[in-house]
Structure 1
Amino acid sequence: MPFPSKLLRAVASIACLSIAFVASAAVPPGLDARVEQVMRDNGVPGMAVAIVEGGKVVHAKGYGVRRLGSPEPVDADTIFPTGSTGKAVTTAALAVLVDEGRIGWDDKVIDHLPGFQMYDPWVTREMTIRDLLVHRSGLGLGAGDLLFVPRSSLSRAETVRRLRYIKPATSFRSGYAYDNVLYVVAGQLIEAVSGKTWEDFVRDRVLRPAGMRVSTTSDAARFATANRAQPHARMDGGFRGVGRQEVLDERQALGANAAPAGGVSSSANDMARWLSIQLAHGALPGEGDRRLFSEEASRQMWTPQVLTPIRPYPEPIADATPQFSAYALGWSVRDYRGVKILEHGGAVFGVQTMVVLIPDRQVGFSLQINSEDGVALRGLMYELLDHYLDAPKRDWPADFATYRQASIDKALAVLGKSKAEKKPSRASLPLKDYAGNYADPWYGPIELRDEGGRLRIDFRQTPDMVGTLEHWQYDTFQVRWDDRTIEPAYVSFALDAQGKVDRITMKAVSPLADFSYDYHDLLFTPVAND
């Protein structure tokens, strides 16, 4: 989610290679000191690093602390939420069902999930299981994410049902736009086919057979584990991502309804096991002929399905720009320095993860941090890539810090200009006349209340998403949520010919707001009062 993490690509021959080349380089000398230095420079409280070379785990270690202000250290068994890197885990769960002959990648979704509907009936009929995984459905970037970001009270089944009300941004299979909500559908399909919830199926048929002994698929299991990292973010510097590091409330993270899109929590030791299985094309290292999934399933998972747009990075990180970029089944496939890379980032509520595979070198690594300081994550990722590709040393964390600061400065300038250009004006109506019940077709109901001269907004299906509307200009207000971790938004009212509220639209205040706050996709209209 925050701090987009698709940074690599693949060469034209991108099917799984059956020939393995053992890495020529060992773990970077002085790795521990370098990790600790980057953490200090960027204020990262804790980190876990796993590296696999030539089928062997050569590094699995924790650094720093699980929580600021507390002494408990991060170790190789500390679990971190892994965000969207879990999309590959959901894909592996589907692969298990494919190997058993219970589904096919190109089966129609409605053949296994009859109640599934997209906005367009033709798309509903044509959508395949493969389509659920590759971000080519026609939905806009992050469409529907407010159904589970922040945490929602909606069930997974109800989340899937509401897909029918989300209007497409483009035609079906015409291009790429990253989404989470169709992985929610994939999770519901796993339940329909297997008779087990996504949480139970992934735990019993993927994580435990894989030897990932401490990884979890549910909040209940994660909270029951004492050795877990706590989320952190910067909240007081003008917008999220700037200011002092703060501990967040871990129970406000991603809604359980979205777990198939990013609900796995894992440790360095378990991530090392996952990397080994991926590099072995589904074989369970050290367990003879036993496999988690077939080699054919591995080939399917790694084969690109849709080209992803390439937007050149500016200096000083221009060399990170790929020449080729695509999305496979739960993996991004790109090139870096002429070598095929598979990778996926994950960012969810105060925690970030990066998983990287270099198949030709039989190298894989994962980086996990308990903060939103992606500069450290990306910087160390490229330093490790350069090491294993025998490239010259370079201070990538410093380069990413320069790039990030330029983005922050630009965003602050935009916010400053917006304030300076704000017009002195009054709202058209008394506050009480904006109050009422409203609904968006896909999100559902909200309520506006006049509470003693304060206009309050309540996203009723999202616990704690309640805030105060402060007049901005004309009939636009800013909502300041009681929970400061939620992105502030502009709320604009349009009136009808009788001077009554006809509709409400929203957009994020921060230019750097995470795309999962898809306020801009909302259109609220009045409904009858309860």
Structure 2
Amino acid sequence: MPSIPKMLHAAAIAAGLSIAFAASAEAPPDLDARVAEAMRATGVPGMAVAIVEQGKVVHAKGYGVSRLGSPEPVDADTIFPTGSTGKAVTTAALAVLVDEGKIGWDDKVIDHLPGFQMYDPWVTREMTIRDLLVHRSGLGLGAGDLMFVPRSSLSRAETVRRLRYIKPATSFRSGYAYDNLLYVVAGQLIEEVSGRTWEAFVRERVLKPAGMSASTTEDAAYFATANRVQPHARMDGGFRGIGNQEVLDERKGLGRNAAPAGGISSSAADMGRWLAIQLARGALPDGKRLFSEDASRQMWLPQVLVPIAPYPAPIAEATPQFSAYALGWSVRDYRGAKIIEHGGAVFGVQTMVVLVPDRQVGFSLQINSEDGVLLRGLMFELLDHYLDAPKRDWVADFAAFKKARDAKMLAAAGGGDAQKKPSRPSLPLAGYAGNYADPWYGPIVIRHENGRLRIDFKQTPDMAGTLEHRQYDTFRTRWDDPSIEPADVTFALDAQGKVDRITMKASSPLADFSYDYHDLLFTPQRDE
């Protein structure tokens, strides 16, 4: 998202060349007031900020409350789920094994995880550990995420086994498409090589040496921590992300099978320690190393180009000239500086982690809501501060961008409803009932009960709801849990007038990509 001065050429960035800067400035003196103002403007209940300068944590502080309507404050030790920013932690765990000589970044996955299998046998043979981490596998955006979003009953091993049934969207290594599933594979590989679960290995070999004592890798430890935030989201405005802030049920978030892709929870104080270690290229304060300097170089080395879509006004200046994905990190430019960053969003909580290596500055921003305009806005305001750019209200600019985008989406959705043609289902409702299954997700059941259709995703607890007719043979889900994204369900009939297959798509144009309903193809299980 950004622009580049004349002194720095895009070719230099693409080549990974370092540009020397003067020593960093102090943290903004009005930071506390600015955070409070931005939280009020965006309606975010609680936030935590950590800043590291020249190897020292200069700011680690909480703001607001852990739960809307409650007095418990957020402080430097309040833990937040950190979502996909944890991909860098899984990468660090792999780096520990690389440094010990137990694996190599370019080892074939099947040499360490014999049961691993992609849809294409050639890709199975060629997939390397590096490939697991850089989103170039050929899988589509978010493919397979419904195996753990929302929370699933599947084990991690079973989740990895089902990867073989997901058809690729593109050819292997041909381009970028963000996924979570291959980080689940990386977690399973860590278990296979180390003999310990991903949770135990990360806790003992990464978090503990890093001094991140408040951070957790497991549900039991997370829910045993009193000083934690509650998730919030806006769900009553037509689509998720629009309307009034509501408290969510924290036990319905990300499935633990997906923890290597985004299941770590951490505090501002611990994030400060993590930032300092990253900027120190793996060195610990006591002189020991968490991972080698060579591993650090590998982590930040661009591997695959990320397509750039220019941002419109008023945030056009946030468009990057260069954007790539490395090992668990995004690499981009902003105002001539190389930025190492990653965002994380999981069920009512969001995190942003940003490093400016040439300035020896890093910061993390954590909120207990889904109001990403605050995260992005404050990210660019802090970057402007440390890159000596004029002050600007980026939060307001991102809010204006979101307001215009949401209005456009709502208008389009309303237009679609207006174009619906009066119609009836082809079959009596009982004719749609039955047992169905998708090769990678597994079974669903559709029942005819009390004059209506009910749908139940059997491996996703509480993912059940009513099907309301929309037009022809398409129905819309009304999930019993309103925090689950609605979906449109379309039945296709065979020549005998029986259901031959079921396809789905998210009803909301703003739905998170992890609700990958469009990747599902359910067929009848008549033998059952």
TM class by smaller structure: over 0.9
Contact map agreement 1:8 1:341 (CA 8 A) in 2: no
Give the letter aligned to residue 370 of structure 1: N
1:299 to 277, 297, 300: 297
Distance in 2 separating the partners of 1:331 and 1:241: 26
Q: How does 1:82-481 map to 2 (within 5 A)?
A: 82-285=82-285, 287-288=286-287, 290-481=288-479
Decide whether aligned partners of structure 1 residues 381 and 18 sit closer, same or farther in structure 2, where only a CA change above 3 A counts: closer
Give the letter aligned to residue 81 of structure 2: P
Distance in 1 separating the partners of 2:14 and 2:484: 40
Distance in 2 separating the partners of 1:175 and 1:266: 32
Contact map agreement 1:275 1:365 (CA 8 A) in 2: yes
Decide whether aligned partners of structure 1 residues 264 and 17 sit closer, same or farther in structure 2, where only a CA change above 3 A counts: farther
Decide whether aligned partners of structure 1 residues 323 and 197 sit closer, same or farther in structure 2, where only a CA change above 3 A counts: same
Distance in 2 separating the partners of 1:8 and 1:504: 46
Q: Which residue of 2 aligns with 1:73?
A: 73
Distance in 1 separating the partners of 2:506 and 2:18: 47
Give the ranges of 4+ consecutive aligned residues of structure 1 lying more than 2 Å apart after TM superposition: 6-24
Q: Residue 23 of structure 2: SS of its match in structure 1?
A: coil
Give the letter aligned to residue 490 of structure 1: D
Q: Which residue of 2 aligns with 1:3?
A: none
Distance in 1 separating the partners of 2:321 and 2:75: 37
Contact map agreement 1:15 1:302 (CA 8 A) in 2: no
Distance in 1 separating the partners of 2:458 and 2:15: 46
Distance in 1 separating the partners of 2:459 and 2:113: 25
Distance in 2 separating the partners of 1:188 and 1:302: 23
Deviation of the 1:168 alpha carbon: 0.3
C-alpha distance after superposition, 1:443-497 (max 9, x if no partner):
1100000011110000000000001000000000001100000000100000000
Deviation of the 1:357 alpha carbon: 0.2
Distance in 2 separating the partners of 1:320 and 1:18: 21
Distance in 2 separating the partners of 1:479 and 1:515: 17
Give the letter aligned to residue 228 of structure 1: R
Contact map agreement 1:23 1:388 (CA 8 A) in 2: no
Deviation of the 1:23 alpha carbon: 3.5
Distance in 2 separating the partners of 1:481 and 1:110: 39
Distance in 1 separating the partners of 2:521 and 2:244: 35
Distance in 2 separating the partners of 1:454 and 1:365: 51
Contact map agreement 1:306 1:326 (CA 8 A) in 2: yes
Deviation of the 1:14 alpha carbon: 6.6
Q: Residue 187 of structure 2: SS of its match in structure 1?
A: helix
Give the letter aligned to residue 406 of structure 2: I
C-alpha distance after superposition, 1:286-328 (max 9, x if no partner):
x12x010000000000100000100000000000000001000
Decide whether aligned partners of structure 1 residues 402 and 222 sit closer, same or farther in structure 2, where only a CA change above 3 A counts: same
Distance in 2 separating the partners of 1:13 and 1:350: 35
Distance in 2 separating the partners of 1:85 and 1:72: 25
Q: Residue 481 of structure 2: SS of its match in structure 1?
A: coil
Task: Note the residue ranges of structure 1 that are not aligned, 5 or more in a row.
Answer: 1-5
Contact map agreement 2:46 2:368 (CA 8 A) in 1: yes
Distance in 2 separating the partners of 1:259 and 1:505: 28
Contact map agreement 2:52 2:276 (CA 8 A) in 1: yes
Deviation of the 1:7 alpha carbon: 7.7
Greater shift in the superposed pair: 73-82 or 17-26: 17-26
Contact map agreement 2:2 2:317 (CA 8 A) in 1: no
Decide whether aligned partners of structure 1 residues 233 and 116 sit closer, same or farther in structure 2, where only a CA change above 3 A counts: same
C-alpha distance after superposition, 1:335-355 (max 9, x if no partner):
001110000000000000000
Name the % identity. 83
Deviation of the 1:12 alpha carbon: 3.7
Decide whether aligned partners of structure 1 residues 211 and 467 sit closer, same or farther in structure 2, where only a CA change above 3 A counts: same
Deviation of the 1:268 alpha carbon: 0.3
1:484 to 482, 485, 494: 482
Q: Residue 66 of structure 2: SS of its match in structure 1?
A: coil
Deviation of the 1:528 alpha carbon: 2.4
Distance in 2 separating the partners of 1:132 and 1:11: 27
Deviation of the 1:24 alpha carbon: 2.8
Q: Residue 357 of structure 1: SS of its match in structure 2?
A: strand
C-alpha distance after superposition, 1:199-243 (max 9, x if no partner):
000000000000101000011110010000110000101010011
Distance in 2 separating the partners of 1:381 and 1:146: 30
Give the letter aligned to residue 395 of structure 2: P
Q: Residue 338 of structure 2: SS of its match in structure 1?
A: strand
Asked if residue 519 in structure 1 is aligned to residue 517 in structure 2, the reply is yes
Q: Residue 152 of structure 2: SS of its match in structure 1?
A: coil
Distance in 2 separating the partners of 1:220 and 1:8: 44
Q: Residue 62 of structure 1: SS of its match in structure 2?
A: strand
Deviation of the 1:19 alpha carbon: 9.7
What TM-score results when the alignment is normalised by the length of structure 2? Answer: 0.97
Decide whether aligned partners of structure 1 residues 527 and 8 sit closer, same or farther in structure 2, where only a CA change above 3 A counts: farther
Contact map agreement 2:14 2:322 (CA 8 A) in 1: no
Contact map agreement 2:138 2:172 (CA 8 A) in 1: yes
C-alpha distance after superposition, 1:245-281 (max 9, x if no partner):
0000000010000000000000000000000000000
Distance in 2 separating the partners of 1:439 and 1:418: 29
Contact map agreement 2:3 2:336 (CA 8 A) in 1: no
Deviation of the 1:414 alpha carbon: 1.3
Give the letter aligned to residue 70 of structure 1: S
Distance in 1 separating the partners of 2:449 and 2:259: 36
Give the letter aligned to residue 434 of structure 1: Y
Distance in 2 separating the partners of 1:13 and 1:397: 27
Task: Note the residue ranges of structure 2 that are not aligned, 5 or more in a row.
Answer: 5-9
Q: Tell me the number of residue pairs that the alignment of Structure 1 and Structure 2 aligns.
A: 523
Deviation of the 1:79 alpha carbon: 0.3
